[in-house]
Chains A and B, each alone.
Chain A
Amino acid sequence: MSLDAARHTRGESLFVDDLPQPSGLLHGAVFSSPVAHGRLLSLDLDAAQKHAAVRRIFTAKDVPGENQIGAIIPDEPLFAEGHVHHIGQPLALVVATSPEAAREARDLIRAEIEELEPVVCPREAHRREQFIVPSRSLRLGDEAQLAEAFAKSATIVEGQTSTAGQEHLYLETQASMAVPLEGGRLRIYAGTQGPTAVQRVAARVLALPMSAIEVEVLRLGGAFGGKEDQATPWATFAALAAHCLEQPVKLVLQRSEDMLMTGKRHPYQSDWRLGLDQEGKILAYEATLFQNAGASADLSPAILERSLFHAANCYKIPNARITAHSCRTNLTPFTAFRGFGGPQGMFVIESALARAAEVLGVTKEHLQSINLLQSGDVTPYGQEMQGCVSRRSFEQTAQRFDLAGARRATVEFNAKNKRFKRGLATMPICFGISFTNKMMNQAGSLVHIYLDGSVQVASGAVEMGQGVTAKLRNIAAHTLGCDVNLISMAATSTTTVANTSPTAASAGADLNGMAVRIACTQLRERLDALERGLPWKELINHAHQERVHLSSAAHYATPNIHYDKDAEWGAPFAYHVYGSSITRVTVDCLLGTYKIDSVEIVHDAGKSLAPLIDRGQVEGGLAQGIGWLTVEDLAYSDDGRLLSHNLATYKAPDIYSAPVKIEVEFLEHDESPCAVLGSKGIGEPPLMYGIGAFFAIRDAARAFRPVERSGAEDLLCAPLTPERLLMYLHGNR
């Protein structure tokens, strides 16, 4: 359970928009481009400026420092200037005495824009050579070996797949409040996963030293990657206005503003070719991924890298060439989302295996099972697998949940029924833990023991429901050897722990947990040097008398990870997380609707720091993964306008879309030697079990309309909405 859960249920937990309001608080609203691509000719602010409640309207020319927020590549202005590159790109910030007035005035602004042709398709951007960064390729074996492996293959399948984007739909929309302090300093209460990123960008935009800006995060109402880089502009807007007006300013996006203006999971398209031998063992794999990055880099290059790293999922592939293009289009820049490009890469190889199974006349689970990685195998990015439990988790799932029996039951049901068909899919996963950017694999902590024995732990980790504070608290209590109730967690702040990495990459508890563990170990060692056997409170009192330092700051950097980008070879991950699932569905082939009957999972969580939390991460990640590939449908018009920009039109899973039955078993495991107290990161990997839902529905659809009858349609295009499914089942060919 999350540390905050009790408070949540009593309605006592505060989110940014709930914080006590400082007097003189002003409110912001953002005016953004109504056009996906164009030349900005003029911005008419007159009517808005005349609105009685408006204090000031900011545009690019009001930025005291650099008008630049790009994190990896400086290619994203805070306010668009000269050109607009996507609908929803900010052009002006209206600050007024109430949020309604700010929005009302905002709606009076007119932009004159000469429209240019927008590009929304990544393949089109590729054709025009519009790239965010140079394209990258991973290889196992050289080109000649690849060609030879294909030549030797008994079966070759090839095709195309696509996965769409996904709205994060954190229940708390983006929100920030900036409060001027004395001497030109600022405090920003930001809804961000990356306080340091906000601090750094705000300092750059305001031409202030980072030391003049404090960023504080109490908690987030969900984030899922959507508040990693995407929280920065809103916090920066609030900071800009508060700094210039010398008054506190709050900016809270309404749901449809948030959906229109913020980035989402990257859509991908891909071409692939898979060669297999007589038995179905993979000999060669070739894939080209077209990432739709949107209008600027955001985190796209890092996400592209993870797509490459996970393109082989958990399969042994002796010869491979995997290429990825980050394609610049005129959509809102896409961003981090749980899995960070990994799921998109995995979906492609799963598609190839699904086709191969059909061609070979075997089940997909059979092909998966005979191609799983083992310790000692080398991945296309050069890492030798260690402690690999791919096979163990697959086999345990198959036995524990009777995979063979489930398949038999499915076949029997389908032979007897016309309207309803059942489908089944297994989904083994292998996910690397660590930021792929080595520099980011570091964390800090600050632990104070107070005179009464109570303890405060600060770290760079942001609590967003994933339970990191509860885990850190357990680590601190365990290491200090005191009662867990004595430990309180400080709000995450750049003043307590500086220069932090965002809480992301499933590594929040790993990195910050290590930093907390080191700080607590230091304290414990200092205490152990004193008299032993005293109760905690007396011990602390005694330590203070003895002038022992009762505070400790620590730093942790993940050892032994390295990656050579030029060679595209190395060991970027501290370790991998494994697991396997079986998904069963029933499709109503009359109406094209479906129900997820069950998902059964064996997941490798190492030695769990908090089993209830880890279970929640598996269940929640699974639901998001299923949503991504089934009902969550970002509809765009041809001119780059998001049509599904509210909850009436964008449908995330509700309680009735949840699988009827979910069973999660944790893999019996030797402790992971690589992360804190033998645990493993848990945030992202379970999302990928959701891929099983797609292939289970596809399995059922194929039972109704077999391959021979379905012509060229491969049904490898996600999400598999009821519309797509019905068109496949009964549509024209």
Chain B
Amino acid sequence: MKPTATKTISFHLNGEAVETSAAPGRLLLDYLRRDLRAVGTKEGCREGDCGACTILFGKHNAQGELIYRAVPSCMLLMGHAQGGYVVTIEGLRVGKGLNGVQQAVVDCGGSQCGFCTPGFIVSFTGFVLNGTEFSVEEATHAISGNLCRCTGYVSLVRAAAALIGGLPDLPEPGLERNRRLVEAQLLPEFFGREVAQMPAEEIGGLPSEAPFVGGGTDLIVQRGEAFNLEAPRFARDLSRKPAIRVKGDELCLPGETTFEELRECTLLGKWWPTSRTDLERFASPIVRERASLAGNIANASPIADGTAIFLGLGADLVLTGAGGTRRVALGDFFHGYKQTELQPGERIASLRLPKAQTGHRFHFEKISKREYLDIASINSGLGIQVRDGVIDAVQLSAGGVAPIPLLMRQTAACLIGKPVNAQTVLEAVPVLEAEATPISDVRGSADYKRLGLRQLFFAHFLALFPNEVDEGQLMEVTR
């Protein structure tokens, strides 16, 4: 498809308005580096995996305040930038010297070859702008989507400590905080300006066969430069933050909710108490800012974490399209490898979590080569209801063991009605292993995945029922 329209995209860059007729499907990274020659932003992978291209991307919150978040500019299409506020490393310079973030990194030896450094500075700045708790752990978390091959990170952790030590008292994220940071010479002056919200405008010609983009974190990787020539449809109106809300007894999660929004949402606790820490293992903070719930599910990857989690939580999907709105169980959504219930033109409007039952427990676990910022080799979620010591209801999901994200119905059936103990768990293992049909690939051998699934299954029970299920008994089993 040819690029539609010579429609201009307008956004702000480092405090100045920019208008361009760049194709909406081009990477913001390419536009910055190639068209504007703003070369402080580096390209290390074009896949969201290294953070060298990190920029700040600002959007208005519900209170009309401009909130900047660190995101990889290789995970933003020009169409996404429409109406947004982009700040690159060039825009963080304060005078000719070093701002507090830069000084901390220099003093602690946090920059060797320097190729990763602009990305780290931007991520640290994102932390200073948005942090709610100024601890080394939180600062480390904020830069965990940035790879550095030279330093071994220790000096960057020292820099985090130095940075925190030098911060002034800060109010809640927002304009007041920005102004305080400008005063402290941590940010340049334009951060302290009040910025009116730009009217949101649709970008792209909207032909229905054009690819439908959420955050783009899957599509950009899959399509690469082919996107330059397409006019994708953008799912989310930049100006509105989708609201997660309780509707009746149900929790309603808009499809465009990003995984970082999900992580920060406190409503989830009733259904999924460990959401905050579990989601730390989903991609990285900068990628989670982009990755959407609907994209994770619609992409139909057998190892998607969001899918495994919501299968385990027994979610339903609400789909909307030309033919109206309908509701399907997530467990019935996947038909085959990368085949789903979605009809052409239809999209995932929201996810629904059924009424939270008392005594319901949920656990998610994933095994990946690297603990953080890695796609799962296998993952699994277990939602379980126990009444009077007897298993009453089970939703068990498994990713990476079949062409689709699997709802393990047979294994679940074999648990129902049994007491919660190691014996029950062990009796279910043959069914579990028969229900999984993993294949060998770059993320692990079939044998490993089958074994790993059993271990995840054990891990669920050990985590949820530490008193009922004997660890020793499960640790003893070999194959």
Interface residues of A, Cβ cutoff 8 Å to B: 1-2, 4-15, 17-18, 20-21, 100, 103-104, 168-173, 219-224, 254-255, 418-419, 464-467, 589-593, 595, 612-613, 615-616, 619-624, 631, 633, 635, 643-644, 646-649, 651-658, 662, 721-723, 726-727, 730-733
Once A171-B115, A657-B370 are accepted as A-B contacts, the answer to whether A619 and B151 lie under 8 Å apart by CB is yes
Task: List, in ascending order, chain A residues with CB within 8 A of B397's CB.
Answer: none
**Given A655-B140, A731-B479: A4 and B152 within 8 A (CB)?**
no
The CA-CA distance from A186 to B149 in the complex, in Å, is: 32
Q: Does B172 contact A (CB under 8 A)?
A: no
B49 to A655, Cβ gap below 8 A? no
Given pairs A623-B152, A644-B442, A658-B154, 6 additional interface contacts (CB within 8 A): A1-B106, A100-B225, A171-B149, A591-B459, A619-B152, A656-B370
Contacts A9-B117, A647-B49, A730-B478: A616 and B39 contacting too (C-beta < 8 A)? no
Q: Does B416 contact A (CB under 8 A)?
A: no
Q: What are 29 A-B interface contacts by the 8 Å CB criterion? A: A1-B106, A1-B109, A4-B114, A8-B114, A10-B40, A15-B115, A169-B147, A172-B113, A172-B115, A222-B112, A223-B113, A255-B45, A255-B47, A418-B471, A419-B471, A464-B113, A590-B455, A593-B367, A646-B49, A649-B442, A655-B143, A655-B148, A655-B153, A655-B157, A656-B373, A657-B370, A657-B372, A722-B368, A726-B367
- Whether B93 and A170, one on each chain, are in contact in the complex, defined by CB atoms closer than 8 angstroms, is no
- Whether B42 is near chain A, meaning CB under 8 Å from some CB there, is yes
A residues near B451, Cβ cutoff 8 Å = 726-727, 730-731
Interchain CB contact under 8 A, B150 and A222: yes
Q: Are B89 and A17 in contact (CB under 8 A)?
A: no
Q: Which residues of B contact A6 (CB under 8 A)?
A: 98, 102, 106
Question: Does B154 contact A465, Cβ atoms closer than 8 Å?
Answer: no
Min CB–CB distance B360 → chain A (angstroms): 24
Find B152's partner among A104, A622, A647 (CB 8 Å cutoff).
Answer: A622
Min CB distance A579 to B, Å, is 16
Q: Check A11 against B455 for contact (C-beta < 8 Å).
A: no
**Chain A-chain B contacts (Cβ-Cβ < 8 Å), number:** 255
Residue B237 is within 8 A (CB to CB) of chain A in the complex: no
Instruction: Tell me the smallest distance from the CB of B27 to a CB of chain A, in Å.
Output: 11
B113 touches A219 (CB 8 A): yes
B369: contacting residue among A17, A222, A721, CB under 8 A: A721
- From A466, A616, A624, give the contact of B109 (CB < 8 A): A616
Contact call B369/A651, Cβ cutoff below 8 A: yes
Contact A590 B459 (CB under 8 A): yes
Interchain nearest-CB distance for B3 vs A (Å) = 13
Q: Which 4 A-B pairs have the closest CB atoms?
A: A11-B40, A465-B113, A8-B114, A221-B115
Find out whether the CB atom of B148 lies under 8 angstroms from the CB atom of A171.
yes
Least Cβ–Cβ distance between A605 and chain B, in angstroms: 14
Residues of A within 8 A of B148 (CB): 171, 655
Q: For the complex, what is the distance from the CA of A615 to the CA of B109, rounded to whole Å?
A: 9
> In residues 111-125 of chain B, which contact A (Cβ within 8 Å)?
111-118, 121
A723 B109 Cβ-Cβ under 8 A: no
Q: A221 vs B113: C-alpha distance in the bound complex, in angstroms?
A: 5
Whether A651 contacts B114 by the Cβ 8 Å rule is no
Whether, in the assembled complex, B88 has its beta carbon less than 8 Å from a beta carbon of chain A, the answer is yes
Whole-angstrom distance from the CB of A580 to the nearest CB of chain B? 18
A12 touches B40 (CB 8 A): yes
Contacts of A100 in B (CB 8 A): 225, 228
Interface residues of B (CB under 8 A from A): 33, 37, 39-47, 49-50, 52, 88-90, 92-93, 98, 101-102, 105-107, 109, 111-118, 121, 140, 143-144, 146-157, 221, 225, 228, 365, 367-375, 377, 441-445, 447-448, 451-452, 455-456, 458-459, 462, 471-472, 474-475, 477-479
> With A5-B106, A652-B149 known to touch, is A726 a contact of B452 (CB < 8 Å)?
yes
Q: Is the CB of A465 within 8 A of B157?
A: no
* Residue among B39, B146, B369 making CB contact with A722, cutoff 8 Å: B369
In angstroms, Cα B117 to Cα A222, docked, is: 12
Q: From A617, which residue of chain B is reached at the shortest CB distance?
A: B112
| Chain B binding surface, main DSSP class | loop
Complex: chain B residue closest to A21, CB-CB: B37
A1, A21, A624: which contacts B149 (Cβ < 8 A)? A624
Most interface-central of A170, A656, A731 (chain B CB within 10 A)? A656
Q: Is the contact region of chain A dominated by helix, strand, or loop, or is it mixed?
A: loop
Q: How far is the CA of A359 from the CA of B412 in the complex (A)?
A: 46
Q: Min CB distance, B139 to chain A, in Å?
A: 10
**In the complex, which residue of chain B has the Cβ closest to the Cβ of A733?**
B478
Between A169, A173, A224, A655, the greatest number of chain B beta carbons within 10 A of the residue's beta carbon is seen for A655
A417 CA / B192 CA spacing, docked (Å): 54
Q: Take A172-B115, A418-B472 as given contacts and tell me if A623 and B155 are in contact as well, using a CB distance cutoff of 8 Å.
A: no
Instruction: Kindly name the residue among B365, B445, B479 whose own CB sees the greatest number of chain A CB atoms within 10 A.
Output: B479
**In the complex, what's the smallest C-beta–C-beta distance from A234 to chain B, in angstroms?**
16
Q: Are A7 and B155 in contact (CB under 8 A)?
A: no
Query: Do B477 and A647 touch (CB < 8 A)?
Result: no
Residue on A with the closest CB to B365?
Answer: A591
**Measured between C-beta atoms, what is the minimum distance from B260 to chain A in Å?**
17
Q: Is the CB of B458 within 8 A of A590?
A: yes
Q: Indicate if the CB atoms of B151 and A616 lie closer than 8 Å.
A: yes
Knowing A171-B52, A732-B479 touch, does A8 contact B118 (C-beta < 8 A)? yes
- Please, which residues of chain B bring their CB within 8 A of the CB of A595? 371
Report chain A residues within 8 Å CB of B374. 651
With A419-B471, A655-B144, A658-B152 already in contact, the answer to whether A103 and B39 are too (CB < 8 A) is no
Question: In the assembled complex, how far is the CB of residue A709 from the closest CB belonging to chain B, in whole angstroms?
Answer: 9
Q: Assess whether A624 is in contact with B475, with CB atoms less than 8 Å apart.
A: no
> CB < 8 Å: which of B37, B147, B455 contacts A171?
B147
Query: B152: which A residues are within 8 A, CB to CB?
Result: 616, 619-624, 653, 658, 662
Given contacts A171-B52, A222-B115, A727-B448, contact A593 B371 (CB under 8 A): yes
From residue B374, how far is it (CB to closest CB) to chain A in Å?
Answer: 6
Query: A18-B39, A722-B367 given as contacts; is B149 within 8 A of A222 (CB)?
Result: yes
A9 touches B105 (CB 8 A): yes
Residues of B contacting A171 in the complex (Cβ-Cβ under 8 angstroms): 42, 44, 50, 52, 113, 115-116, 147-150
- Of residues A15, A612, A620, A622, which shows the largest number of chain B Cβ atoms within 10 Å of its Cβ? A620
Q: Quick check: A647 and B154 within 8 Å, CB to CB?
A: no
In the complex the two chains form, is B221's CB within 8 Å of A651's CB? no
How far apart are B117's CB and chain A's nearest CB, in angstroms?
4
Q: Which of B114, B156, B443, B451 has the most CB of A within 10 A?
A: B114
CA distance in complex: A721, B146 (Å)? 22
B residues near A13, Cβ cutoff 8 Å: 114, 117
A733 to B37, CA, bound (A): 59
